[in-house]
Structure 1
Amino acid sequence: MEMTTGDVSDATRRLLQSLRMPGQPEPFYAVLKDVLQETAGFIFVTLFLVHRGETLRIFTTEDELYPTGVRKPMASTAWGDLVIGRQETFLATDLRGIRSAFFDHAKIESLGCGSAICVPIVYDGKCIGSLNLNHREHHYTKQHVGMIETFAPVLVPVLLDAVHRLDEA
């Protein structure tokens, strides 16, 4: 099913309205999960925060293999240079693209995934995180990228809240 501009606008509106709900960030994540499944579809999704020279996974739909709370030092990789450094979206449409970008490609493939979209979340000129969707091979297209890029700025307050909570802890 092809999404229309109205569908994407409605999804964005739902995400923005979810920020008003108490008990954040769980209500936002529930709506985000629904919106992403309805618009682009996914097998699994992760959201990470760039914090103090590391990445920190703060949301996942695949708790067993990709749990939240995992920190990784930011190493210089082609993927990191593209998404974090240049603040450009990564699109892998096939297994070749997955294998070239991710050291854990075997784990990704074991879940039935062969395409990915990774969209930088940018605030104040800096990449503060990335929204990462994974699906079967050849699922994602440039049209999906455009939809997900539309939602990315809505994640800024959630990531800034995560930074605030980490800095207070």
Structure 2
Amino acid sequence: MNLSAVEEEARREIGVRLFTVLAWLPGRRVLHRAHTSHPDQYPIGGEKSVEIAADWLDRCINRQQPFFGPDAESVRQVFADHALIAELGCGSVINVPVIGADGATLGTLALLDAEHAYGPAQVERAVELAALAAPALAELVQRLDDNQEDS
């Protein structure tokens, strides 16, 4: 399933105002934007060095556990771009790791919607959707790694 199809499933089954997929590139310790519902604000190919809260990185990337922020305050505490997130009408976030067949973290799905739009059932479904994104994200991570080696 391609990442656009995963986004459509997320819209249909969970609801999103903002949806992004970030590829984790451990050799460079960056998150590379692989897919986005808002390319003007969050362009494909954009990268974030790990300026994200260390707790978030440890939780989603290292321990492979979802992060759930039910309200705007939890978004503000974790994301440097919280003002833009709020401008887009988002105040609730679910981040789930995308795990490859080898057990390594390939990246994350980020689903954002209005404050208090999500609960435990939506987090659980997002975890299931992350598994559907794994093959497409694995292919992208491999291409990015290959390009890095070529440069």
Shift of 1:105: 0.7
SS in 2 for 1:58: strand
Shift of 1:136: 0.3
- The whole-number CA distance in structure 1 between the counterparts of 2:82 and 2:63 is 23
Give 1 or 2 for the bigger CA radius of gyration. Answer: 1
CA RMSD, Structure 1 to Structure 2 (Å) = 1.4
Q: How many residues align?
A: 143
Describe how 1:1-80 pairs up with structure 2 within 5 A: 19=1, 28-51=2-25, 52=27, 53-75=29-51, 77-80=54-57
Shift of 1:131: 0.3
Describe how 1:84-103 pairs up with structure 2 within 5 A: 84-103=61-80
Higher RCO (C-alpha under 8 Å, 6+ residues apart): 2
C-alpha deviations, 1:17-41, integer Å up to 9, x for none?
Answer: xx3xxxxxxxx23322221111000
TM-score, L = length of structure 1: 0.79
Identity of matched residues, %: 31
In the alignment, is residue 127 of structure 1 matched against residue 95 of structure 2?
A: no
For structure 1, list consecutive stretches of 5 or more residues without a partner in the other structure. 1-18, 20-27
C-alpha deviations, 1:94-152, integer Å up to 9, x for none?
Answer: 11111111111111001110000000011223211000000000001000011111121
TM-score, L = length of structure 2: 0.88
- The whole-number CA distance in structure 1 between the counterparts of 2:59 and 2:86 is 22
For structure 2, list consecutive stretches of 5 or more residues without a partner in the other structure. none
